[in-house]
Structure 1
Amino acid sequence: MNSHPESKQCPSLFPFICAIIGLVWYVVIWEFVIRGCRTARIRYRTQPRSSLATAPPSSFPGVSILRPLKGLDANLYENLESTFTQQYPNYEIILSVADEQDQALPVARALISKYPNVTARVIIGEEVVGVNPKINNLIRSYHEATHDILWVIDSGVSVAPGTLARSVALLETSTPTIFSKKRIALIHHVPFASTQEQFLGSLIEEAFLNTNYAKMYLAINVTAVEACVVGKSNLYRRSDLERLNGSLKPRALTDNDQPEDCLRGLAAFGKFLAEDYAISSALWHELDLRHDLSCDVAHYTIGKMSFSDYVWKRVRWIRVRKHMVLIADVAEPFTESLVAGSIAAAALWYLFGIRVWLFLVIHNAAWLWVDLDVYESLAGRPLAADRRWLFIGAWCLRELLALPIWILAMLGDEVVWRGKRYEMFGAGEVRSSRQEMEFRGGDKLLGKGTTINSC
C-alpha cells in the first residue's frame, strides 16, 4: 500500500515551525535592544534643567538623603561628597554605620566638618529586623529622617549636582504615560560603572553594566510591564513605604489575613536580600503604583574585582532573581547575544540557506555597535581610544561567560554576600545558612527580645 504523498512532508513541519518561532523571538529581542539604545540616546544625551529651577526655595519639598556605609568603598570620599554639593535648598543627609569601628566613619565626619552649612549627621548602630544588613543599617535613619521624601543611595555611588532637583521634580510632577496612568512612587537611576583598576573582574563588570545590562534595564523600564529597579539610587516617599507589608501581593488580598503587629515600612523588607527589587515590586503590586527613570545616572565606582569575584557576583544576582521572577530568569539566556544569534542563524540557514558564520559575524558586529552606542549615551562621551580594545575584549569575554554562569547559578540556591552565606527560598526571601545560624545563635539572629511577625 502506498502512503499518502503528504505524509512525506510531515517530518519537516516541526523544524519549520521551530525556525519561524526562532526568527520571531530574534525580532522581539532586537526590538528590545533597539528600544534600550533609543531610550539611552533620548534620555541621557541631554540633561534639561529641573522644573523647580525657577521656583522659590520655599516650594522645594524637603528630602532626607540616607547613605548606609560599610567599610571603605572605592572613591568613598568623592561619592559621599557628591550629595553634600547638590543644587537643592531643602535637604538633610544621614550617614549610618553599624558600629563605631567602621572605617567609613572618619570619612563621614570629615565631610560633615567640611560642609557646615549642610544639615548632616551620623547615626551609629544598626537595628536588626531581618537578615539583610543594609536594611538593618538603614532602619534608624529611616525612622529619624525629617522629611517624607527619602533618597536612599549606596556608598559606592556618586551623582551629578543637579540629580536631586531633577528627580524630585519628576516625582512631584509625574504625569500618566501611554503605558500607564498610575501615580509614580519611585524614581531610580540607571548605574554607570567606571574603574581605574586593571583587574579582569572589574573590566568585565564595567563592560556588562554599561552595555548589555543598561540597555535591557532601560528597555524593560520604558515598556513598564513589570517592576525592574536596582537599588543603588532610589527616591520614594516614606508614607508610601509605611503602607507596604512585604507580601508583594495586592493589599486587597492580604490585609484581612495579616496580624496587627505585622511589620510594615522598610523593616518589612529585612527578609529579602534584594530589598531594592522587593520594595519596587511591593509599590507596584501592593499599592498599584509605578516607577520612572530620571535623566541622571548613578556613577558607580568598581573597586578591585577578580575574575572569581565577578563570576560569583553574577551567580548571586541570578539566584536571587530566580526566587523572585523565575520566568525572567529562565528566559535570560535566550536574550543574550550568542544564544539569540545562534537560534536566528540556525533558522535562517534552514529556511534560506544563509551561511551560519556570515550571519553570526554580522549579528555580533551589530550587537557590539549598539552596546557601544549605549555606553556613549550614558557616559556623555565616546569610549576613550586608549581603552577601546581593552573594553571590547572584556565585552567579548562577558558574552562568552553569560551562559556558563547562568547554568552554574541555576544549579544552586546559596549565595554569599559581604562574607556571609545565605539560602534563598520562597518569593525571594532569604535566611542565613545553617552554619551562620549556628554561629550566631540561631533564634538570637533578630536581637535580644525581638519578635518579628513577617507578612
Structure 2
Amino acid sequence: MNIVPVIISAGMILLVATQFVSVALAVLRKLLWRTSAKCGPDGVTIIKPVCGLENNLRRTLRSSFAIDYPQYELIFCVASPDDPAIPLVRELIASHPAADAHLLIGDDKISQNPKLNNIWKGWRAAKYDWVVISDSNVLVPPAYIDDLRERWSSATSVICSPPVGSDAEGLAAALEAAFLNTYQARWQLVADFLRYGYAQGKTMMLSRRELEHSGGLSILASEVAEDAAATKIARRTGKKVAVVREPFQQPLGRRTWSQVWSRQLRWAQLRRSSFPLAYSAEILTGILPVAILYCILATMDVLAWIGLPLLIVCWYSAEVALAVVYRWPLGLTLILAWILRDILSPLLWLQGWLQRGFTWHGNNMTSLKRSKLKRGVVGSQT
C-alpha cells in the first residue's frame, strides 16, 4: 500500500476540518450567547489616541460622545502639536459642552511603540479605575461600555474587540475587510469561545488598579505591541482575555493597495515576533494549501478534478454563513477579496518572517526588539 496518498489525504482533511470547525465554533458562540447582568455604573475613562486625519475620523470620534453610559470621560491624546487632527478634536469637544472630554498633547518616549507613548499622558490623567484604550478609527456604539463591562469577571484581565471592517470602498479596502472579518475576527472569536482569548489593541478595557499590581502601563512596553504584552501578562497571572459579544466596526472608506499591504505586514511581523509558534501555523489556514494537496491527489487519480471547484464553493460558503450570522458586510466584491486574501496570504506570511522592520506613524521600528522604558520623560498637556 502506498502510504503517501494516505498522508496527503489526512493532511487535507485536517485543513478542511479546521476551516469548517472554526466557522462552526464562531457561529456557535453567537447562537449560545447569554447576556450577562449589567455591572454597576462605575466611572470609565476612554483614552483615544489620535494621529492624523484618517478615513471617517469625524464620524468615529463623534460616536464617542454618544455613548449611553452615566459616567465616563474622554481623553483624546495627540503626540504632535502640529497634528492636523487637533482642530477637529477641539471642534468636537466644543460642540459637546456637556461631555467630560479633554485633549492632551505631547509625546512621552517610554517605548518604541508610538501608540503607547501617545497614551501615557492620558493614562496618568485618567480619573477612573476602569480605562478603555480605544483607537480613533473605531466606530463606537451607544452600548460600547456596557458591552465591554458585560465580559468582566474576577478571572478577567483584559476585555477587547477585534475590528470589523465596514463601509469598504474599492477592492483594496475590501481586501482589508477580508483580512479583518471572516479571517482574523473569526479566529479571535474562536479563541475566546475556547477560553484562550488574546488581546487586540483596537479596543482594550483594563483595570488600572490590577495593571498597577503587574507593573503599571509601562509593563505593556515589554513587547513591541501593547496587545501582545497584555495577552502575556494575563496568561502569566492566570487570568484570561475576553472578547465582547459582537466586535465593533471600523469604517474603512477607500484604501490604497500599499496601505493595506503595509498594515497587514506590520501586524504579521508583530504576531511573528510575539507568538512565533502560532504564526508558524498561519500558513495552513487559507484555501491555497488545501487546493495544492487536492491537486496532488487528483494527479495521483485519488480524487476527481470535479471535486476541487465544489470544495472551493463549500469553503467560501462557510465564510458567507459566518458573515450572515454576525451581520458583517457581504457582497460579491468581498467574496472576491476573500479569494485574493487567500492567494496573497502565503506571500504575506513569508515576508513576515523575512522582513525585520517597519515604519509606524513615522517611527522606524523593529518587530524583534523589545521596548525599553525610558523613565522621567513628560509630555506637554493642553
Cα distance in structure 2, aligned partners of 1:216 and 1:165: 24
Q: Post-superposition shift, 1:349? A: 7.8
Q: Report whether the alignment pairs 1:51 with 2:37.
A: yes
Cα distance in structure 2, aligned partners of 1:418 and 1:101: 14
Cα distance in structure 1, aligned partners of 2:208 and 2:66: 24
2:380 equivalent in structure 1: none
Question: Which one of 6, 27, 35 corresponds to residue 16 of structure 1?
Answer: 6
Structure 1 residue identity aligned to 2:233? A
Cα distance in structure 1, aligned partners of 2:125 and 2:14: 53
Q: Post-superposition shift, 1:345? A: 6.1
1:185 touches 1:283 (CA, 8 Å); kept in 2? yes
Q: Report whether the alignment pairs 1:265 with 2:219.
A: no
1:407 equivalent in structure 2: 350
1:442 equivalent in structure 2: none
State which drifts further: 111-120 or 271-280. Answer: 271-280
Cα gap change, 1:41 to 1:375, in 2 (>3 Å): farther
Cα gap change, 1:205 to 1:21, in 2 (>3 Å): closer
2:252 equivalent in structure 1: 302
2:327 equivalent in structure 1: 379
Question: Which one of 197, 210, 228 corresponds to residue 181 of structure 2?
Answer: 210
2:169 equivalent in structure 1: 197
Cα gap change, 1:151 to 1:404, in 2 (>3 Å): same
Q: Report whether the alignment pairs 1:224 with 2:195.
A: yes
Cα distance in structure 1, aligned partners of 2:62 and 2:325: 25
Q: Post-superposition shift, 1:343? A: 3.1
Q: Report whether the alignment pairs 1:119 with 2:105.
A: no
Q: Post-superposition shift, 1:24? A: 3.6
Cα distance in structure 1, aligned partners of 2:123 and 2:29: 33
TM-score (norm 1): 0.76
List aligned pairs for 1:129-168, cutoff 5 A: 129-168=110-149
Structure 2 residue identity aligned to 1:333? I
1:132 touches 1:270 (CA, 8 Å); kept in 2? yes
List aligned pairs for 1:292-371, cutoff 5 A: 292-343=242-293, 346=296, 353-355=302-304, 357-371=305-319
List aligned pairs for 1:59-74, cutoff 5 A: 59-74=40-55
Off by >4 Å, runs of 4+ in structure 1: 40-43, 344-350
List aligned pairs for 1:436-455, cutoff 5 A: 446=374
Cα gap change, 1:394 to 1:283, in 2 (>3 Å): same
- The Cα offsets for residues 49-87 of structure 1, whole Å up to 9 and x where unpaired, read as x733xx8xxx41111111111111111122112221111
Q: Please provide the CA RMSD for this pair.
A: 2.7
State which drifts further: 364-373 or 136-145. Answer: 364-373
Q: Which has the larger radius of gyration?
A: 1
Cα gap change, 1:310 to 1:332, in 2 (>3 Å): same
Q: Post-superposition shift, 1:18? A: 4.6
1:289 equivalent in structure 2: 239
1:37 equivalent in structure 2: 27
Cα gap change, 1:327 to 1:347, in 2 (>3 Å): farther
Cα distance in structure 2, aligned partners of 1:373 and 1:23: 21
Q: Post-superposition shift, 1:25? A: 4.5
2:43 touches 2:71 (CA, 8 Å); kept in 1? yes
Cα distance in structure 2, aligned partners of 1:424 and 1:294: 28
Q: Secondary structure at the match of 1:158?
A: coil
1:23 touches 1:347 (CA, 8 Å); kept in 2? no
Q: Post-superposition shift, 1:413? A: 1.6
2:111 touches 2:371 (CA, 8 Å); kept in 1? no
Task: Structure 2: give runs of 5+ residues left out of the alignment.
Answer: 378-382
Cα gap change, 1:82 to 1:235, in 2 (>3 Å): same
1:40 touches 1:215 (CA, 8 Å); kept in 2? no
Cα distance in structure 2, aligned partners of 1:75 and 1:300: 9
Structure 2 residue identity aligned to 1:224? R
Cα distance in structure 2, aligned partners of 1:193 and 1:24: 29
TM-score (norm 2): 0.89
1:259 equivalent in structure 2: none
Task: Structure 1: give runs of 5+ residues left out of the alignment.
Answer: 1-8, 175-181, 245-263, 432-444, 451-455
Cα gap change, 1:196 to 1:423, in 2 (>3 Å): closer
Q: Post-superposition shift, 1:33? A: 2.9
Cα distance in structure 2, aligned partners of 1:211 and 1:283: 26
Cα distance in structure 1, aligned partners of 2:353 and 2:3: 33
Q: Secondary structure at the match of 2:248?
A: strand
1:342 touches 1:360 (CA, 8 Å); kept in 2? no
Cα gap change, 1:148 to 1:362, in 2 (>3 Å): same
1:86 touches 1:161 (CA, 8 Å); kept in 2? yes
Which one scores higher on RCO, CA 8 angstroms, separation ≥ 6?
Answer: 2
Structure 2 residue identity aligned to 1:317? W
